[in-house]
Amino acid sequence: MKSPNQIYLSSLIGILLLTNFVSSEETVDNSFQKQSLLAVLYMQTSAEFAANNIQTYTNATNKIDEALSDKSWTAALEQKDNFSLKKPAIILDVDETVLNNTPHQARSILNGCSYPCGWIDWGLESSAEAIDGVKDFLLYAKSKDIKIFYVTNRVAELEDATRVNLKALGLPFDDDEDVLLMKGEKGWSSDKVSRRALVASNYRVIMLVGDQITDFISTEEATLEPEARKDLANKYKDMWGSKWFMIPNPMYGKWEGSIYGNQYPETQEEMIQKRLEALKP
């Protein structure tokens, strides 16, 4: 039997522990990361996002036979002459094109700590799920003997973990040559032009799939103010839906950098301010 004093003391300890827990929760300042909340929830919870990606990958699948039979068909601006007899290949970006990294983004919101915070740890887990539709598309391509290349701006440190992740999902992955081309590997920069050119030197590249416009064109061409950058979509309107396929990514990308004049501000407050200024009421 506890005395009234003992009951009072244990209640006080309980309240102190609870207060401490609550206050440590409250010390997480995620006001900046919370700006991504709806973008992440849209990608994680909506039927609309999943349907859109299935639609995109189904359309891409439906173009494969035509792309194979038309030997003049190439999707790579880097493709040089005399490619008609080369073996066909498809190049895909990895993040938010094949692998879904929204758990990393969700953690960023909860922790109040954004990329690169937690990114390498997430990548090393090799636990990303596949973007909807991509597996059926790639298995069909594989059945047609098309070589699949993954060209990613993940750092080379994540190469093994990325390979493990892709294979665990049952996606085509050939081990007879380097089909996973990382940033920083063999001196490659984040600009994917040189890696696309390398693939195009040995293969006829019939399709490109990405979530960033730089998965299709050079970084130099894509580095513009938002209005001029949007004109790029029209410039290449003959490519979308036949040779180039874009997966939407409302969470991050060079489109965001464009809002800041392609120079990221020093502080999160400045970024929020620039975002507000970019709105068109």
Q: How far is the CB of 114 from Mg ion (least distance, A)?
A: 17
Residue 118: which H helix or E strand, with range?
none
Name which of residues 4 to 23 contact Mg ion (CB under 5 A): none
In whole angstroms, how close is the CB of 205 to Mg ion at the nearest point? Answer: 18
Pick out residues in 74-103 that bind Mg ion (CB under 5 A).
Answer: 93, 95-96
- Considering CB under 5 A, how many residues would be counted as binding Mg ion? 4
At residue 280, the 3 state secondary structure works out as coil
- Cβ nearer to Mg ion, comparing 132 with 211: 211
Closest CB 153 distance from Mg ion, rounded Å: 7
Near Mg ion in 32-51, by CB under 5 A: none
Cβ closest to Mg ion, residue 78 vs residue 95: 95
Strands (E), the chain: 87-92, 99-100, 129-130, 147-155, 180-183, 203-210, 244-246
10 Å CB burial of residue 44 (0-12, 13-18, 19+) is middle
Site for Mg ion in 121-180 (CB under 5 A): none
CB-wise, 78 or 211, nearer to Mg ion?
Answer: 211
Q: What is the largest CA-CA distance in the chain?
A: 92
Residue 189 main-chain phi, psi, to 5 deg: -85, -175
Q: Give the nearer residue to Mg ion in terms of CB position, either 99 or 200.
A: 99
Q: How far is the CB of 99 from Mg ion (least distance, A)?
A: 9
Asked if 254 contacts 217 with a C-beta cutoff of 8 angstroms, the reply is no
Q: How far is the CB of 68 from Mg ion (least distance, A)?
A: 26
- Provide the minimum distance between the beta carbon of 211 and Mg ion in the complex, in angstroms, as a whole number: 4
CA 215, CA 228: separation in Å to the nearest integer? 18
β-pair type (129-130, 99-100): antiparallel
CB nearer Mg ion, residue 95 or residue 132: 95
Residue number with CB closer to Mg ion (86 or 254): 254
Closest CB to Mg ion: residue number: 95
Q: How far is the CB of 93 from Mg ion (least distance, A)?
A: 4
Nearer residue to Mg ion within complex by CB, 83 or 213: 213
HSE, CB side, 13 Å, CA atoms: give it for residue 264: 9
Question: Which of the residues 203 through 232 are near Mg ion (CB under 5 A)?
Answer: 211
Report residue 232 as tokens. 């790029």
Q: Residue 84 contacts by C-beta under 8 Å, 6 or more apart in sequence?
A: 71, 72, 204
What 3-state DSSP class applies to 95? strand
Residue ranges that bind Mg ion, judged by CB under 5 A: 93, 95-96, 211
